[in-house]
Amino acid sequence: MVAGGFATFAALYCVQPLMPLFTQEFDLTPAQSSLSLAASTAALAVAMLVSSLISDVFGRRATMAASLTLSSLLTLALVIVPGWHSLLLLRVFAGLALSGFPAISIAYLADELDRRALGVAVGFTIAGNSLGGMGGRLITSIVLDFSNWRFAVGVIGLVCLICALTLWWVLPREHHFRRITPSWKGAGEAYAVHLRDPALLMLFAEGFLLLGSLVTLFNYIGFRLLKPPFELSQTLVGFVFLIYSLGTVSSAVMGPIGNKIGRRTALWVSLAIMQIGLLATLANSLLWVVLGMSLFTLGFFAAHSVASSWVGLRAEHSRAQASTLYMCAYYAGSSVAGVLGGYFWASHQWPGVVSLIGAMGIVALVLAFILSRMPPPPWLRTS
């Protein structure tokens, strides 16, 4: 599952450090260059509504493995892409292919593991996600010093293909999964049940705000660090993404901590840490910017670990559909806020980006406070 998470997020986010290069090579604005990521995340968000149905027929394991293999090959195809619009089209297809892993991975764990182990297992899976997000960005940035962006994404594609084959070989077959005939009506009814639960709706909104905030931060921090007073090289900007390694620790640790102090407390504490880190990035000191991004990243992965596992526990039935709705909102937030941040950057530079992320963070804190006051569902002592 760690290998699968790595491949998913390395393929998804490998273009993020390339956005300043795209603005130059294809004569784009920062907001337009962000479409290289937003196109994939938007396609992923929509396709996940169908991926869960596919997994009901072919199984979680087979769907995840096929998804990662296809997305790796599409990432490799970026090496020969002729222009910007062709690049965007391939990124849309990659997003469609990647949809087979994120939501299904949580459903696989929810089906196969004891409830007491779910929070920890989801934490480790999300840790793999953070490694992939960091590795995809960092490898791309380092390779740029020796070659061009096409070769860089080719390297990422090969690494992702190796991870996909690892998942095919190592991941245990399901023991509790039962294949069913897909039903659009049944899926629609399952989605409707989840959308009538106010707590789940707020958790879906948390996912939207969480990834929207993180992607906006990392989309435009590169533009800031390449300019005065920092004027860092592309490789040094890439090393900033080492901050993602903190997410690996945060996700793995937050599972047991969340079980101890309660998801209700863990969520708003994690969101508060994100806000503190965000404010620190306003300083014109590289040390404070890195410290602020580190706190923000720690808080994000902790909050996401808590919220995503909470969805799996809150849903009594049709957990795959509940997880799908969460991840759909999660990646929709990336697409919407990631592009919107480009306009805030164009109008007010970094303070404008911070104001957008800060506003989303305040809304997330309010929702977390309301969630902390809501009673658990009748089938759980704690939710």
**Segment 129-150, tens digit of pLDDT:** 778 888 888 888 888 878 889 9
CA 62 to chain centre: 22
| Measured distance CA(379)–CA(294) in Å, rounded | 38
**Is 90 exceeded by the pLDDT of residue 376?**
no
Inside any domain, residue 260? yes
> Looking at residue 131, what is its pLDDT?
82
Examine residue 6 and state whether it is found in any structural domain, yes or no: yes
**Cα–Cα distance measured from residue 110 to residue 222, given in angstroms and rounded to the nearest whole number:** 37
**Which residue did the predictor score with more confidence, 262 or 280?**
280
Cα(360)–Cα(357) distance, rounded to whole angstroms?
A: 5
Residue bearing the bigger pLDDT, 119 or 364: 364
181 band by pLDDT with thresholds 50, 70 and 90: low
pLDDT band at 153 (very low <50, low <70, confident <90, very high): very high
Residue 220 is predicted with a pLDDT of 92
Q: Is this structure's pTM higher than 0.85?
A: no
What pLDDT is recorded for position 253? 67
CA distance 157 to 131: 15
Closest CA to 281 of 296, 299, 300: 296
Nearest CA to 67 out of 104, 103, 101, 108 is that of 101
**Average pLDDT for residues 357-366, to the nearest whole number?**
96
In a domain, 383, yes or no: no
pLDDT, position 381 = 52
The predicted structure's pLDDT at residue 383: 43
Lowest mean pLDDT, pick from 121-135, 196-210, 299-313: 121-135
pLDDT tens profile 222-256? 889 988 899 887 778 878 878 877 766 666 666 56
Looking at residue 372, what is its pLDDT? 83
Cβ-in-10-Å burial (0-12, 13-18, 19+) of 317 comes to exposed
What is the structure's pLDDT at 1?
A: 87
pLDDT at position 323 over 50 = yes
- In whole numbers, what is the pLDDT of the chain averaged over residues? 86
* Number of C-beta neighbours around residue 379 at 10 A: 11
Domain of 268?
2-173+182-372
Structural domain includes residue 381 = no
Asked whether the beta carbons of 240 and 293 are under 8 A apart, the reply is yes
Q: What is the mean pLDDT of residues 50-75?
A: 88
First to last CA, the chain: 25
Residue 266: per-residue pLDDT: 82
Domain count for the chain, please give it: 1
Q: What is the pLDDT of residue 137?
A: 85
pLDDT at 79 over 60: yes
The answer to whether residues 221 and 293 touch, using CB atoms and an 8 Å cutoff, is yes
- Give pLDDT, residue 189: 76
Look at residue 56 in the predicted model and tell me its pLDDT: 76
CATH number of the domain where residue 216 is located: 1.20.1250.20
Give residue 292's pLDDT: 95
